[in-house]
Copies of this chain bind each other. A is one copy, B any other.
Amino acid sequence: MNQGWANARGHDPLAGIRDDIRNLPTENIAELALKAASLSGVIPLWYGEGDLVTPQFIRDAAKAALDQGMTFYVPDMRGLPALTSALSDYQTRLHGVDIPVQRSTVTPSGMHAVLLALELIVDKGDEVIFIEPQWPNIRSAIQLVGGVPVPFGLDFRDGDWRLDLERLMASCTSRTRAIFLPTPSNPAGWVASVEENKALLEFSRRTGIWILSDEVYARLYFDGEVAPSMLQIAEDGDRVLAINSFSKAWAMTGWRIGWLTHPSSVAGALGGMTQYMNSGTAGFIQAGAAAALTQGEPLVREIRERCRVGRDLAYEKLAPLPQTEFGAPPKGGMYVFFALKGEDDAKAACRHILESARVGLAPGHLFGEASKRFLRVCICRDAAQLSEAFDRIAKVLNA
């Protein structure tokens, strides 16, 4: 039986853990914010989180479920019937196509919907192309499941972010398992057009490459009720997995609940995976989410309007400054993304603005090579606070 144990304890404290995990990036937005905890009076615009407490009607629904004793396992791992049925109604109404109950699986967070989608299809060494600039968690999640993250940059051209579809498709190979498409994108506010979605869907049908459509910001779209969605054009059999979350459009970041919309053929597999990954989401949280869906349209409109006002304030107060470089206003999402002329180091710029203006922004290098000059501002906040933050930044830039 002797094997000459290669992996016995040594002096490396991380010996014995997976290489993919050892090599996960350690720099992220949270780390930046934690470092600044000692500074007082900071206006925090670095996280992707609004400033509204979850409205009372959603909290009341969760509290009522607790009062009613909903503290046992939810028998269907894929979701509480009240929620999966609400998801079916909601998506059918929103997208104008029938999306039956068996096409949605509830997940303990939108982040977990990403993980679930990746675990479903990505085997060790499979490549996943993701559109940059990109929220950094996506690259890390691909790496965590053993996949190979392959960035594909949007071009910042003629004052706007653009996707070179032909080049994207040409960059796919037989090793490409999926394309991760954030629309509206975090952080750039880029939104895939109906035509772009159609071309990608057609490409997926031809190649078998999956489309992971991150639609977490779909309702925070400034030209209509919902951004163009893969779900509007995909059929049940298509290789489309749409990621969604209650965090942003319903002010529920701290609830950790989202969902995945998928072909009905994989519902059974996703139910099994859910069982073995976390055995489902708390029933009383699902009860809150069901209330959000069925009674939350005024809330979604309020949050969208909050973002629109924040966006317009940034374009009114910061875009005209000679020191800043703004593209076209974002079409969706909860961010404004801009650069400082003559400053290629976004991290240094963020540090300067943090220390001098006491405003917390997120540096673009975290979102990839294509955006290393840019700064991300969360605009889903109280207008007076945003106004104050932008004034402080302007003052520092003009000093």
Q: Is A310 an interface residue (CB 8 A)?
A: no
Please pick, from B7, B9, B119, the residue contacting A21 in the complex, using a CB distance under 8 A.
Answer: B119
The residues of B that contact A9 with a CB separation of less than 8 Å are 205, 208, 237, 239
A109 on the B face (CB < 8 A): yes
By beta carbon, the residue of chain B nearest A263 is B13
Which chain B residues lie closer than 8 Å to A35 at the CB level?
A: none
Bound-state Cα–Cα, A376 to B54, Å? 43
Q: Which of B140, B141, B265, B275 contacts A28 (CB 8 A)?
A: B275
Residue of B with least CB distance to A251:
B71
Contact A112 B265 (CB under 8 A): no
CA distance A269 to B25 in the complex (A): 10
Which of the 9-residue segments A85-93, A121-129, A217-225, A328-336 touches chain B? A121-129
Contacts of A16 in B (CB 8 A): 121, 208, 210, 239
Given B67, B210, B280, which contacts A256 in the complex, CB threshold below 8 Å?
Answer: B280
Of the stretches A72-80, A347-355, A365-373, A391-399, the one at the interface is A72-80
Tell me the smallest distance from the CB of A137 to a CB of chain B, in Å: 5
Chain A 1-39 interface 0/1 with B at a Cβ cutoff of 8 Å (1 = within): 101111111000111111111101110101001100000
- Knowing A21-B273, A59-B67, A66-B63 touch, does A5 contact B174 (C-beta < 8 A)? yes
A108 within 8 Å of B (CB atoms): yes
With A207-B8, A256-B280 as contacts: A273 and B24 at CB distance below 8 Å:
yes
Q: Does A96 contact B (CB under 8 A)?
A: no
In the complex the two chains form, is B276's CB within 8 Å of A19's CB?
no
Residue of B nearest to A72 (CB): B254
Given the complex of chains A and B, what is the CA–CA distance between A22 and B119 in angstroms?
11
Chain B residues near A21 (CB, 8 Å)?
119-120, 269, 272-273
Which of the candidate stretches A179-187, A282-290, A382-390 sits at the interface with the other chain? A282-290
A13 to B268, CA, bound (A): 11
Question: A193 interface residue, CB < 8 Å from B?
Answer: no
Interface residues of A in 208-236 (CB under 8 A from B): 208-210
* Distance from A303 Cβ to chain B, minimum over Cβ atoms (Å): 14
One of B66, B75, B239, B251 near A34 (C-beta < 8 A): B75
Tell me if A's interface is mostly helix, strand, loop or mixed: loop
Is residue A173 within 8 Å, beta carbon to beta carbon, of the partner chain?
Answer: yes
1/0 per residue, CB under 8 A from B, across A92-132: the answer is 00000000000000001101100100011111100000000
A65 to chain B, nearest CB (A): 9
Judge whether A253 and B73 touch: CB under 8 Å: yes
Contact yes or no, B208 A18, CB < 8 A? no
Contact across chains for A123 and B146 when beta carbons are under 8 A apart: yes
Q: Nearest CB to that of A108 among chain B residues?
A: B108
Q: Are B108 and A256 in contact, CB atoms less than 8 angstroms apart?
A: yes
The reply to whether A279 and B75 contact each other, CB–CB distance below 8 Å, is no
A59 contact set on B, CB distance < 8 A: 66-67, 71
Alpha-carbon gap, A256 to B137, bound state (A): 23
Q: Is A144 an interface residue (CB 8 A)?
A: yes
User: A299 interface residue, CB < 8 Å from B?
Assistant: no
- Say yes or no: A5-B206 contact (C-beta < 8 A), given A14-B269, A115-B276, A277-B144: yes
B282–A75 touching, CB < 8 Å: no
Residues of A within 8 A of B (CB): 1, 3-9, 13-22, 24-26, 28, 30, 33-34, 47, 49, 53-54, 59, 62-63, 66-67, 69-75, 77, 108-109, 111-112, 115, 119-124, 137, 140-141, 144, 146, 169-170, 172-174, 205-210, 237, 239, 251-256, 263, 265-266, 268-269, 272-273, 275-285
Interface contacts beyond A19-B123, A21-B119: sample of 14 additional A-B pairs, CB < 8 Å, sorted by A: A7-B209, A13-B237, A18-B122, A21-B272, A24-B272, A24-B276, A28-B275, A30-B275, A49-B72, A112-B277, A124-B146, A137-B276, A140-B275, A255-B282
